[in-house]
Amino acid sequence: MNKEIKISSDQGGNFTVTQNRLSYTVPDDGVYDMSRSYINLNAVINVTENEVATGTGVYIMDLKWKSQTANNPKFFNSSIVKNASIRSSRNGQIENIRRVDLLTNILKTYNTSTQENKCLSYKAGSQLVDAVDKQQYSIYRDINKLGNVKSKANNNTPVKIPLSDLFDFCAQATELDTQKTGRVRIDCELNIDKLEPQQKMLINEWPAEANLLNDLTTVGGQNTIVTQCAFTEMHQSPYYVSQKLQLTATGNGGAPNLAAEVLTIQSISKNDNGTLTITTEQNFANLAVGQTYTAVSILAVEAVASSTVSVDFAELVLVKLNKSSSDFDEIQYGTFSTDQSNGNSLNNYQRQFQVEAESDCVVIVQPDSNNDLLSKSGIVDNYRLRLNNNDITDRSVFQDSPLYYDSISSTMTKMKLRLKSLFENNGNTSKKTYNPYEATSQQESIMSTLEQTVNEKLLQVNINCKLGESVNELVMFKHLPRVFSY
């Protein structure tokens, strides 16, 4: 019977900006399915409350990618790893990829459909707003919208990073016999400095009608309010147990006005007509005969004073097969070498790169200075590549032209990846409405297949930018087919 084993990192947590390395050693004692193995990062988002007198509340918190602007692109879990390498004691280095975060982000943007992105959100370290109910939750909170069971902050939230997303070798190694390879070493450098917490589901993210409440007329202590809005399904409701809200209401008959009254939800029940009865932990008013409250509504969702994210520990989860040896003698896979260049703010960029003889395609990106997870868009007017002084295409390739998309398709096929999306966009976590075409997260790349040669070859890259634009930083990933033999 197959089993899962967990291996702790050689480095202990908490992981920080300076202590951001992970190292694992896969033992030489059996056959492992590396395609189903993954790294678990335990991420915890801690908050400091503004209002503590009304008890402890639970706040919707998510991770965002740190940016120099207000735009925060949704990131794939694999982008948390900046650099990664894998090697075995008997076969030496297998893969060693610099800027694996940038590479996997651009490739998975093409390789992941919009529907897949939505379906995989249950394990995503960063969430987009829901396309249907316009709400945005996260894996870092356990939210209860009905009854009296308290919602809670998850202090043990595994952020899963499949090894197959980091290494194509692991994607192909469904049976890796470490008895033949010897111990396998995996090293990763994390982008801890790029992760920031962000509070979600504030009042400006609610539908306007959801925060309207019925008038209060019952004499005596008030700790129950009823929504005016009827909800067909509970997932449409923005309310949840342990949520902290600020209530506002107009007092009549001598009752004082309520302004920013902080309440914590104790329980929620759904009425026959679809409205919700919300009971709070506090009595927020005491009505005498003839007194009422009108214009009752939710003024705000209580905001946190501050928040921090910490990664407490990291473990490698390996799938060990119930086999004495592997059925395969070799593993075919592809890896990448990385070239990084300074464009010196040139409008007409030209440079010659040395490319390995076996390289069969390249991916060229321009990291955005405000957010280096994205490749700049709207910069390039046209480009042309020459291999060993021979043009790869018979004309310049203009951005967003049929030839541009044809080059992407053929390159993805060469890398044995499926092209599932041409949005060139993974979404923006800061946006309150769902838009798969979000302009602030748009990215573009230059891709091309190459002819394999006997000797090292020279690739000439000519990029003509649009008026007023220039090439600053440029990263070239060269795809290298490999065969791993025991």
More confident residue, 277 or 14: 277
Q: State yes or no: pLDDT of 435 exceeds 80.
A: no
Specify the DSSP element, H or E, that contains 41.
strand 31-49
Q: Are 460 and 349 in contact (CB under 8 A)?
A: no
pLDDT band at 85 (very low <50, low <70, confident <90, very high): very high
Q: Cβ-count burial of 392 within 10 angstroms (0-12 exposed, 13-18 middle, 19+ buried)?
A: middle
Q: Cβ-count burial of 198 within 10 angstroms (0-12 exposed, 13-18 middle, 19+ buried)?
A: buried
Euclidean distance between CA atoms 129 and 427, whole angstroms: 9
- pLDDT (0 to 100) of residue 372: 86
Q: 115-173 pLDDT, tens per residue?
A: 888 888 899 999 988 888 888 999 999 999 999 999 999 988 999 999 999 999 999 99
Average pLDDT over the chain reads 93
State what percent of residues in the chain have pLDDT above 90. 79
Q: Tell me which of 115-124, 266-275, 334-343 is least confident.
A: 115-124
CA 486 vs CA 34, 61, 158, 170: distances in Å? 16, 47, 34, 15
Which domains, from first to last, does the chain contain?
3-200+309-485 (no CATH), 203-302 (2.40.30)
Q: 49-81 pLDDT, tens per residue?
A: 998 878 889 999 999 998 877 778 889 999 999
Q: Are 261 and 248 in contact (CB under 8 A)?
A: yes
Euclidean distance between CA atoms 17 and 371, whole angstroms: 17
pLDDT band at 43 (very low <50, low <70, confident <90, very high): very high
CA 46 to chain centre: 19
Q: State yes or no: pLDDT of 436 exceeds 90.
A: no
SS3 425: strand
Q: State yes or no: pLDDT of 468 exceeds 80.
A: yes
pLDDT band at 426 (very low <50, low <70, confident <90, very high): confident
Q: Are 173 and 167 in contact (CB under 8 A)?
A: no
Residue 197 has φ and ψ, to the nearest 5°, of: -80, 155
pTM of the complete model = 0.92
Q: State yes or no: pLDDT of 390 exceeds 70.
A: yes
Burial 42-67 (b: 16+ CB within 10 A, else e): bbbbebebebeebeebbbbbbbbbeb
How many CB atoms within 10 Å of residue 437? 11
Q: State yes or no: pLDDT of 439 exceeds 80.
A: no
Instruction: Compute the average pLDDT of residues 406-423.
Output: 95
Euclidean distance between CA atoms 316 and 106, whole angstroms: 25
With residues binned 3-state (H G I as helix, E B as strand, rest as coil), the percentages for the chain, rounded to 5, are 15, 45, 40
Q: Cβ-count burial of 139 within 10 angstroms (0-12 exposed, 13-18 middle, 19+ buried)?
A: buried
E-assigned strand segments in 171-219: 176-177, 184-190, 195-199
Q: 209-230 pLDDT, tens per residue?
A: 899 999 999 889 999 999 999 9
